[in-house]
C-alpha cells in the first residue's frame, strides 16, 4: 500500500525521460545533438517543435543537463549522456537550478516579460556553465515581444543558450526561426509506445495484455504523455484484479466498440443484409456503444483491410481472429470498393457527430452503404454505356432538343493560391514572381484575397488577376503576416531534404570518418 505521506505521482511525470537514451522515437535529433556536443558546435538557440507529448520540454531540460553536467567527480564537461548525479543535473531535474529559467509564454506574453530576460542575459551564470532560458509554447509571445527578443537572440553572450518549444511553429515569426537551430520531434510510432508502456507496467508490477497496450498506444496518437495518462487510467480502472489491464477493459474505458461486433457488422454491410445491419446496430446501442464510435470502428476495419491489401503490416492492435478476417477481406475486396466504403463511412461519421439524433443518422448512413453496394462502379457503368447495354433518356431526346445551345459555364478561380500564381505567370510573370517570393497568404476565398506582402508589389494586382479569371476580385492588404510564402516553403522543403540527407546512415558515417568534409552542391547534375 502506498505511504500516505508520499503523494502519488502520475505515470507521465514519474517516467519522464531523465536521459537521452530514455527519449523514445527521436533518434535523429539525439544523434545530431550528440555530434554537436562532441565537436563543440553548439548553437546559441534551439527550437523544438512537434505535437503534444512527444518530448519537447523534456528534451529542453535534457539539453540543459547535457550542457551543464560536471560529472560525479565535478570535472566533467558537456556530454550527450549527463550523469544525473551531480548537483547541476539534480537541480535541473528538480526544477530548482538558479541558472536554468523556465518560462511559460502562454502566461508571459508581453514585452515586459522579455525585457527581464534581455536585462538578465548580460550577467554571467551564478554556478552553471551556461545560463539557459527555456520558453515553452513560444508562439504565444506577442509580436512586440518577439521583436524585442530578436537582437539578443541573434547575438547572445557566450554563456547564454535559448531553448524554445512550441506546438504551432507556423505562428513563430520567420525572423525568429532563422536565428534558431530547429528540431522537428516526430510522432512516436504505436509499436514503440506499446513497448514503452510494457516496460512501465513491468516497473509498476502491473500485468497488462499486449492487445490492451496496443489499443492505448493507438489512442495516444503518437503522444507518450497522452498514452501514459490513458495507461494510468486503465490501471485504476482494472483495480486490484489479478488479470490486470485487459483489452476488454480498455475498450470499455475508452468507449470503443467490441471488435467482434464490428467485424460482424462489417460482414453484414458487405453482404448487403439491411435487416441484419439494423439489428446489429440496435444491439450495440442497447449495450451503450456510441453510434459514432461504432462507425469509427468500421472505418478502422476498412483502413486495416486497405492497408494490408496495399502491402502494409497488419495493425498490432488487431487480435489474431481479427487479423485472419482482415486478411481474408484484403484478398477478396477490390481497391475501388474499399475506397468507396471509406468515403461513405467517413461522410456518415460526420453526419452522426453533427446530428441531434445520432442513432437514426447512423442507421441512414449504414443503409446508404448497403444500397450503394448494389450500384455498379463508375468504370463498369462507362463500359455498359459505351457498349449500349444501358439505354438512357438522352437517346430518346429529339434532335432539336439535343442541338439547343448550352450556356457557357461561369468562370472558376484556381483552386489554391499556388495555382493562382501559376496561372498569373503566363501573362504577368514579374508580378507572379513577386507573389511567389514575398506574399504571405492570410486568406484565399475567391473572389476574396487577403495578403501580407513582405515587400511592396509592383503593378495593379486586381487588374492582373482579372486577366486570369474575371470574378470581381477583392484584394486586401493585411498588416499581420499569415502563412509562409511559397518561396519560404520551398526553402523549408529543401532544408528538410538536406537534413534528411545528412542524417542518412551512409552520409553520417562519412562525416564521422571525415570531420572536415563538407556536403556541396553538384552544379552539373542540379543536386
- Is residue 383 in some structural domain? no
Shared-domain flag, residues 218 and 179: no
- Residue ending a domain, choose from 133, 154, 184: 184
In the β-sheet with 448-453, what is the strand arrangement from edge to edge? 439-445, 448-453, 474-477
Residue 43 DSSP class: -
| Average pLDDT along the chain | 83
Mean pLDDT of 260-286: 89
- Is residue 522 in some structural domain? no
Is 483 in contact with 441 (CB distance < 8 Å)? yes
Task: State the pLDDT at residue 7.
Answer: 81
Mean pLDDT of 48-57: 89
Distance (Å, rounded) from C-alpha 185 to C-alpha 48?
7
Q: Which three cell numbers stand for residue 1?
A: 500500500
- Is residue 497 in some structural domain? no
- The single residue listed with the C-alpha cell 514585452 is 111
More confident site: 397 or 122: 122
Mean pLDDT of 23-32: 88
Mean pLDDT of 502-521: 73
For position 239, which CATH number holds? 1.10.8.60
Question: What percent of the chain stands above pLDDT 90?
Answer: 24
Tell me: the pLDDT tens digits for 214-258? 889 888 888 899 999 999 998 888 776 567 888 888 877 876 656
Lowest-confidence pick of 43-57, 395-409, 473-487, 497-511: 395-409
Shared-domain flag, residues 325 and 280: yes
- Is residue 404 in some structural domain? no
Shared-domain flag, residues 240 and 222: yes
Shared-domain flag, residues 229 and 349: no
Shared-domain flag, residues 157 and 32: yes
- The single residue listed with the C-alpha cell 492487445 is 211
- Is residue 55 in some structural domain? yes
For position 284, which CATH number holds? 1.20.272.10
Distance (Å, rounded) from C-alpha 176 to C-alpha 157?
17
- Model pTM greater than 0.75? no
Residue 406 has pLDDT above 60, yes or no: no
Task: State the pLDDT at residue 247.
Answer: 83
Shared-domain flag, residues 334 and 280: yes
Task: State the pLDDT at residue 131.
Answer: 92
Shared-domain flag, residues 279 and 362: yes
Q: How many domains is the chain built from?
A: 4
Distance (Å, rounded) from C-alpha 24 to C-alpha 16?
11
Distance (Å, rounded) from C-alpha 140 to C-alpha 173?
11
Task: State the pLDDT at residue 313.
Answer: 72
- Residue ending a domain, choose from 184, 214, 246: 184
pLDDT band at 396 (very low <50, low <70, confident <90, very high): very low
Residue 152's closest CA among 186, 108, 121, 125? 121
Domain that holds residue 317: 259-372
Task: State the pLDDT at residue 240.
Answer: 62
Residue 245 DSSP class: B
3-state secondary structure (DSSP) of residue 25: coil
Residue 82 has pLDDT above 80, yes or no: yes
Task: State the pLDDT at residue 317.
Answer: 59
Shared-domain flag, residues 125 and 205: no
Tell me: the pLDDT tens digits for 216-225? 988 888 889 9
- Is residue 36 in some structural domain? yes
More confident site: 91 or 403: 91
Residue 293's closest CA among 321, 265, 317? 265
SS (H, E, C) 151-208: HHHHCCCCCEEEEEEECCHHHCCHHHHCCCEEEECCCCCHHHHHHHHHHHHHHCCCCE
Mean pLDDT of 424-428: 84
- Is residue 274 in some structural domain? yes
Phi, psi of 163 (to 5 degrees): -125, 115
Shared-domain flag, residues 234 and 265: no
Residue 4 has pLDDT above 70, yes or no: no
Residue 125 has pLDDT above 50, yes or no: yes
Task: State the pLDDT at residue 375.
Answer: 62
Tell me: the pLDDT tens digits for 153-207? 888 888 999 999 999 999 999 999 999 999 999 888 888 999 999 999 999 888 9
Phi, psi of 453 (to 5 degrees): -75, 130
Shared-domain flag, residues 194 and 179: no
Is 97 in contact with 133 (CB distance < 8 Å)? no
pLDDT band at 378 (very low <50, low <70, confident <90, very high): low
pLDDT band at 366 (very low <50, low <70, confident <90, very high): very high
For position 106, which CATH number holds? 3.40.50.300
- Residue ending a domain, choose from 450, 465, 483: 483
pLDDT band at 426 (very low <50, low <70, confident <90, very high): confident
Shared-domain flag, residues 115 and 141: yes
What is the distance of C-alpha 268 from the center of its chain?
34
Lowest-confidence pick of 314-328, 423-437, 467-481: 314-328
Task: State the pLDDT at residue 409.
Answer: 59
CB 42: neighbour CB atoms within 10 A?
16
Lowest-confidence pick of 250-254, 321-325, 515-519: 515-519
- Is residue 453 in some structural domain? yes
Shared-domain flag, residues 45 and 158: yes
Residue 89 has pLDDT above 50, yes or no: yes
Task: State the pLDDT at residue 527.
Answer: 46
Distance (Å, rounded) from C-alpha 468 to C-alpha 432?
12
Amino acid at each position: 500500500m502506498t505511504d500516505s505521506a508520499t503523494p502519488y505521482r502520475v505515470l507521465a511525470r514519474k517516467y519522464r525521460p531523465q536521459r537521452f537514451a530514455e527519449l523514445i522515437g527521436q533518434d535523429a535529433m539525439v544523434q545530431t545533438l550528440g555530434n554537436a556536443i562532441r565537436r563543440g558546435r553548439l548553437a546559441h538557440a534551439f527550437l523544438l517543435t512537434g505535437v503534444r507529448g512527444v518530448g519537447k520540454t523534456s528534451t529542453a531540460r535534457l539539453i540543459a543537463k547535457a550542457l551543464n553536467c560536471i560529472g560525479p567527480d565535478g570535472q566533467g564537461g558537456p556530454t550527450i549522456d549527463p550523469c544525473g548525479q551531480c548537483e547541476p543535473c539534480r537541480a535541473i531535474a528538480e526544477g530548482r537550478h538558479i541558472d536554468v529559467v523556465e518560462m511559460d509564454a502562454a502566461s508571459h506574453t508581453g514585452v515586459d516579460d522579455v525585457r527581464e530576460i534581455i536585462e538578465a542575459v548580460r550577467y554571467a551564470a551564478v554556478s552553471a556553465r551556461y545560463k539557459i532560458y527555456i520558453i515553452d509554447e513560444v508562439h504565444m509571445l506577442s509580436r512586440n515581444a518577439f521583436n524585442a527578443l530578436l537582437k539578443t537572440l541573434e547575438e547572445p553572450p557566450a554563456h547564454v543558450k535559448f531553448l524554445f518549444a512550441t506546438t504551432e511553429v507556423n505562428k513563430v515569426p520567420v525572423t525568429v526561426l532563422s536565428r534558431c537551430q530547429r528540431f522537428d520531434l516526430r510522432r512516436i510510432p504505436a509499436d514503440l509506445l506499446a513497448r514503452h508502456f510494457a516496460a512501465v507496467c513491468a516497473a509498476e508490477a502491473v500485468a497488462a495484455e499486449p492487445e490492451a497496450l496496443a489499443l492505448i498506444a493507438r489512442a495516444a496518437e503518437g503522444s507518450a504523455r497522452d498514452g501514459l495518462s490513458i495507461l494510468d487510467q486503465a490501471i485504476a480502472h482494472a483495480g486490484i484484479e489479478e488479470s490486470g489491464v485487459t483489452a476488454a477493459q480498455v475498450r470499455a474505458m475508452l468507449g470503443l466498440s467490441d471488435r467482434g461486433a464490428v467485424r460482424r457488422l462489417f460482414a453484414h454491410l458487405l453482404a448487403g443484409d439491411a435487416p441484419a445491419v439494423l439489428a446489429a446496430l440496435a444491439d450495440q446501442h442497447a449495450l451503450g456503444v456510441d453510434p459514432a464510435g461504432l462507425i469509427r470502428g468500421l472505418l478502422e476495419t476498412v483502413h486495416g483491410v486497405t492497408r494490408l491489401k496495399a502491402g502494409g503490416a497488419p495493425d498490432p492492435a488487431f487480435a489474431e481472429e481479427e487479423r485472419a478476417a482482415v486478411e481474408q477481406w484484403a484478398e477478396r475486396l477490390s481497391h475501388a470498393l474499399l475506397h468507396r466504403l471509406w468515403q461513405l463511412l467517413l461522410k456518415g461519421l460526420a453526419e452522426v457527430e453533427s446530428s441531434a439524433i445520432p442513432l437514426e443518422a447512423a442507421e441512414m448512413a449504414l443503409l446508404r452503404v448497403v444500397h450503394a453496394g448494389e450500384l455498379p462502379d463508375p468504370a463498369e457503368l462507362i463500359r455498359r454505356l459505351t457498349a449500349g447495354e444501358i439505354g438512357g433518356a438522352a437517346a430518346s431526346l429529339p434532335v432539336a432538343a439535343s442541338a439547343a445551345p448550352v450556356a457557357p459555364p461561369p468562370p472558376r478561380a484556381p483552386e489554391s493560391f499556388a495555382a493562382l500564381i501559376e496561372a498569373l505567370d503566363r501573362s504577368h510573370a514579374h508580378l507572379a514572381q513577386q507573389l511567389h517570393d514575398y506574399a504571405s497568404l492570410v486568406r484565399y476565398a475567391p473572389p476574396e484575397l487577403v495578403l501580407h506582402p513582405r515587400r511592396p508589389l509592383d503593378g495593379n494586382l486586381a487588374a492582373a488577376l482579372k486577366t486570369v479569371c474575371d470574378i470581381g476580385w477583392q484584394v486586401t492588404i493585411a498588416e499581420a503576416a499569415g502563412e509562409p510564402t511559397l518561396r519560404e516553403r520551398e526553402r523549408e522543403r529543401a532544408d528538410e531534404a538536406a537534413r534528411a540527407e545528412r542524417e542518412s546512415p551512409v552520409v553520417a558515417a562519412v562525416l564521422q570518418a571525415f570531420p572536415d568534409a563538407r556536403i556541396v552542391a553538384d552544379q552539373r547534375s542540379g543536386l
